[in-house]
Structure 1
Amino acid sequence: MSAPAPHGPAFSGRVGWGSRPAVLVVDLCRAYTEPDGPFALPDPGPAVEATSALVEAARASGRPVVWTAVRYAAGLADGGLFVRKVPALAAFAEDAPGDWGALTLEPGPGEPVVVKQYASAFSGTSLAATLHAAGVDTVVVAGVSTSGCVRATATDALTAGFRPQVVRQACADRSATLHDTNLADLDAKYADVVDLPEALAHL
């Protein structure tokens, strides 16, 4: 008798891949990837390398690449309650020192950078309209952090009618436990969690 599925029969269906994927790089910036950054990750290198591979594959095949960045007005006037909950977000204010919001990888010509103030890249932004206008049906999600903005973005991608594919090796978090636990829950309910080789093959 076979063992039951890890999440039971009610979870872990597949949304699968459509025919027009885009790579979405979420908040991969100096605040996370520099060792003295306010959100410094213990080992960001592998995620940065995997994200770079996704971006290069998308560019080589003419697939869209979209980036997100967190930015607040001077004095955090547009930060709302999020900056109260996470005070370190003040590092992303226009008048903050350190340039922590600078992206770790360089967007290419014509690749939009969607500026956001909250966890989801779809919250209060033009992202859904930009992707729909480009004919995108599948969003390949990379970036940081797995438990925060990656998770929120993948969840809202599903709500907006896109097929979210979260690439395991191209995301990172402040601990392996947070990373793995959130990927497992995303895969159960909101997205397909895939490995880098599968994503590269579809791009």
Structure 2
Amino acid sequence: MNEDLAAGYRASGFGQGLGCGRSPAVLVVDLVRAYLVDGSPLRAPVEDAVAAAVTLIGAGRAAGLPVLFTRVSYRPGGADGGLFRRKIPALGVFEEGSPLGDFAEGAAPRPGETVVTKQYASSFHGTSLAATLTASGIDTLLICGLTTSGCVRATATDALQHGFRPLVVDEACGDRDRRLHEANLLDLDAKYADVLSLDEALTTIREAASA
């Protein structure tokens, strides 16, 4: 992150840390093939981010934390995508039956793990995610996935607004360009979330497991 901008934010009173609550979970946002397959209109250089997310998922499972997944899916024709589909025609890759909407290799949910299907950027908008988290007593989300400037950012912002602590894991998120990734993480860390390194996130998971 740009240290001058980050320092400017802090000097103006932004960026207070939220920390981890008592009951964290891992939230995996749209870790799907559309971002990894050549020829997809959503193709992005996110292989390293996917690998880091798989590491985070494995650590969460090993520690006994809940791991929840989101994916985008539209009915044929995409009417349920509303203006979002109109704004981004490339989202047509997520129509029912498209293999590009399948989870990335190594990042598929296991039986019994929650999968939230959504039509918009935020994992909370129009879904049961907030109710599921509340019913499970979850107060903190370690967020990874794709893309940083899109669904990860929208999800982290809405998590805060729903009363959950968003901890966004830097290396486990990715975007079409590194500059987009870094700019959005800087702003999230200043206003809406804590941004953690992968090592910090893994330490947080170990501490939660031993508490």
The TM-score bracket by the shorter chain reads: over 0.9
Q: Which residue of 2 aligns with 1:151?
A: 153
> Structure 1 counterpart of 2:71, which letter?
A
Normalized per residue, the structure richer in helix is 2
User: How far did residue 9 of structure 1 move?
Assistant: 3.0
1:181 CA displacement: 0.4
Return the letter of the residue paired with 1:13.
Answer: Q
Counterpart of 2:208 in structure 1 is: none
Residue 43 of structure 2 corresponds to which residue in structure 1?
40
SS at 2:19 equivalent:
coil
Counterpart for residue 23 of structure 1: 26
Aligned residues: 198
1:103 corresponds in structure 2 to 103
**Bigger Cα displacement from structure 2, 31-40 vs 177-186:** 31-40
Runs of 4+ with deviation above 3 angstroms = none
Q: Percent identity?
A: 56
Alignment partners' CA distance in 1, 2:47 and 2:81: 29
Q: Counterparts of 1:36-115 in structure 2 under 5 Å?
A: 36-42=39-45, 44-94=46-96, 98-104=98-104, 105-115=107-117
Query: After alignment, is 4-13 or 167-176 more displaced?
Result: 4-13
In the other structure, the counterpart of 1:163 is 165
CA distance in 2, matches of 1:99, 1:38: 13
TM-score by length of 2: 0.90
Equivalent-residue separation in structure 2 for 1:36 and 1:166 (angstroms): 29
CA–CA distance in structure 2, aligned partners of residues 38 and 115 of structure 1: 21
Aligned mates of 1:19, 1:37 — CA distance in 2? 40
The CA distance in 2 between the partners of 1:183 and 1:194, in whole Å, is 10
Alpha-carbon offset, residue 49 of structure 1: 1.1
- TM value normalised by structure 1: 0.94
What RMSD over aligned residues (CA atoms) do the two structures have, in Å?
A: 1.4
The runs of 5 or more residues in structure 1 that have no matched partner are: none
Structure 2 gaps, min length 5: 206-211
Is the aligned partner of 1:12 residue 2:15? yes
- 1:122 and 1:34 mapped to 2: Cα distance? 27
